[in-house]
Structure 1
Amino acid sequence: MKKHLILLAGLLLAFTPPSREPVSKEMAAAAQTFVNSLDAEQRKLAVFPFDSEERFDWHYIPRKRNGLPLKQMNPQQQKAAMALLKTTLSEQGYEKVTSIIDLENVLRVVENRPPNDTYRDPENYSFSVFGDVSNKTPWGWRIDGHHLSLHFSSLTGKVIGMTPTFLGSNPGIVRADVPQKGRQILKQEEALALALVNSLNSDQLARALISETCPNDIVTTHTRKASIEKMEGISFPQLTSSQQKTFLSLLETYLNNYHVTLKNQQMDKLKKVGLDKLVFAWAGDRQVGFGPGKGQYYRIQGPTLLIEYDNSQNNANHVHSVVRDLTNDFGEDMLAEHYKTQHK
């Protein structure tokens, strides 16, 4: 366990401010460095054709994964893999990701597992590269593991896909007597949502509350294509100016995990469709009340975006959250347009 704590601490401290290169160029250079660092056998595990179905096979539970896990990399290769991750995230996002990985050490202690246990394993996070980074054809990459799944796609020098993005936290708040005690990785995701739902008057809550029962997981789970049967909740224009400010702060909490260029891409897309098209929906027992330690589910939904948050398992101390682009998960919408144009 000590080895893993040292590894994660080193990765956290290794964060460096992004250069002035475009994020797509940084990402490509980092991916190429990572691939070049691998031997032939490692490449067989890590590199897939871009059109492989493997690109869409993701999950957030502990399971056997394809790709090249951190445990099968030497320290230099691990450094290259994490450098690739850094190119796509903000400092805040990178810290959340490495903290999520480190929670595997907490679960080993809480569940009385041995130090070499492979079910709760901070080195069982796999990196995969799809396609040839060195040419102008589409390519992408992924990191996938327990409570963590990030996907990025690139085409003609531009990042065209940055979702699905899954971040989870078990425990939501670390209460065990371990070095991480008191840590709450997804704190703002809970605090801002609670502030918003508790600010609603009775008429507003009647619109926002879609169920008195909190689901035990995000609705879309790990599906290839995210879909919610219907858009429910209170719309952005139906909020007061103060509530709208809280709503936007909550939305930005998720987008701020990305590199600023990618955040702005997504925000510009939302503004183009119209922020007034966004709705906020909540599920939970109003008789029990809405607060920490009580089952809670919410989502932000619009024509192009879906954010889900669920904290119901383990006595409401086990968080799942996801960002989905309803038109462009895995970069598929922009890829379809590209292929259509190329065909012409």
Structure 2
Amino acid sequence: MRSAARGFLTCLTDGQHAQVLHPFTDPARTQWSYMPRPRPGVSLVDLSATARKAAHCLLATALSRNAFAQAVTIMAFEEVLDLDEAGRRGRHSDDYWTAVFGDPDKEMWCWRFEGHHLSVTATIHGEDVVAAPLFLGANPARIHDQADSLLFGPLWREEDLARALLSDLPSPLRHQAVVAQTAPSDLITGTAPQVEPFDQAGVCGADLPSSGRDLLHRLISVYLDRLHPTLARPELDLGEVTFAWAGGPRPGQSHYYRIQTPHLLIEYDNTQRDANHAHTVLRRPGADFGADLLPAHLATEQR
């Protein structure tokens, strides 16, 4: 990450360099968003081809190859959405911004790659990295051909595996998993800088039949495998995992789910555009934006 960030910075003009670099203490460091809006940093549209490639290379240091493919597909979907909207909002696939908070040559720093439906933040202290929040969304979530066959869907596994898990549960466990008949209109945690685990509503992974445990493990892996292999953490004790669902169980019905442990929170929401507009996020309660790394950093600074 340090090497990729340095490489990116060397590709910038003096003016762009000033746009990209912000103090680590800048409040904007934790003010993230997955909505179209002005944001700190420099946009891909304003970069040279070399600098644009360097920004993509920095993004790829946090993501697995599969998740990087999801990310660039999500960016490309801005052109599809712009077509669907007849260009009314001027969306484009280069409306993604890179910012660096702090100095990559120092012990603690942070970078973010962000735009509509994509936000990846990595906070670094020495050799420790926290890549969270990590948000991927898609509108449309799926594109079908005239025969209704799926052509593109960057988040289809996140939807289909969760629905298969819900369907697999025996009736008593399904009733336990469904915490509301109506899905919330968006991710409940929104863009809060820090999150806390929800009350443990839902069904515990340890109580699932073997087929359900397998589906839950596969679903969690979809999210954890978004991270670059070098950032993988040993996960998970299913005895600590809860799965909760809200909304309808069938395709086309608004739905939401979350998966959580004391140190992991996954949310998925698909309620807009006749349930064809998905939002997903991976959070680390108590550790987003490197909150768990700050005490070590402050101790180092005081020596």
Normalised by the length of structure 1, the TM-score is 0.83
CA displacement, residues 118-143 of structure 1 (integer Å, 9 cap, x when unaligned): 3x1211100001111123x2011001
1:282 aligned to 2:245? yes
Q: Tell me if the contact between 1:309 and 1:321 (Cα under 8 Å) persists in the aligned partners.
A: yes
- Give 1:227 shift: 3.2
Partner in structure 1 of residue 121 of structure 2? 151
Greater displacement, 79-88 / 243-252? 79-88
Work out which of the residue numbers 208, 230, 240 in structure 2 matches 1:261.
230
- Percent of aligned pairs with the same amino acid: 36
CA distance in 2, matches of 1:341, 1:78: 35
1:203 aligned to 2:162? no
Aligned residue runs from structure 1 range 106-185, under 5 A = 106-113=80-87, 118=90, 120-135=91-106, 137-159=107-129, 161-175=130-144, 182-185=151-154
CA distance in 2, matches of 1:215, 1:130: 33
One-letter amino acid matched to 1:294: Q
Aligned residue runs from structure 1 range 1-344, under 5 A = 27-113=1-87, 118=90, 120-135=91-106, 137-159=107-129, 161-175=130-144, 182-262=151-231, 264-265=232-233, 268=234, 270-271=235-236, 274-285=237-248, 290-340=249-299, 343=302
Mark the runs of 5 or more structure 2 residues left unpaired by the alignment: none
Q: Tell me if the contact between 1:110 and 1:176 (Cα under 8 Å) persists in the aligned partners.
A: no
Structure 1 runs (4+) deviating above 6 angstroms are none
Partner in structure 2 of residue 19 of structure 1? none
Q: How many pairs were matched up?
A: 300
Q: Tell me if the contact between 2:269 and 2:279 (Cα under 8 Å) persists in the aligned partners.
A: yes
One-letter amino acid matched to 2:95: N
Name the SS for the 1:227 alignment partner: coil
Normalised by the length of structure 2, the TM-score is 0.94
CA distance in 2, matches of 1:90, 1:183: 19
Q: Tell me if the contact between 2:197 and 2:262 (Cα under 8 Å) persists in the aligned partners.
A: no
Greater displacement, 57-66 / 307-316? 57-66
Name the SS for the 2:112 alignment partner: strand
Mark the runs of 5 or more structure 1 residues left unpaired by the alignment: 1-26
Q: Tell me if the contact between 1:220 and 1:228 (Cα under 8 Å) persists in the aligned partners.
A: no
CA distance in 1, matches of 2:220, 2:97: 28
- Give 1:253 shift: 0.3
CA displacement, residues 47-90 of structure 1 (integer Å, 9 cap, x when unaligned): 11111111111111111222101011111100111111112211
CA distance in 2, matches of 1:175, 1:63: 29
Q: Which of the two has greater helix per residue?
A: 1
Partner in structure 2 of residue 11 of structure 1? none
- Give 1:231 shift: 2.1
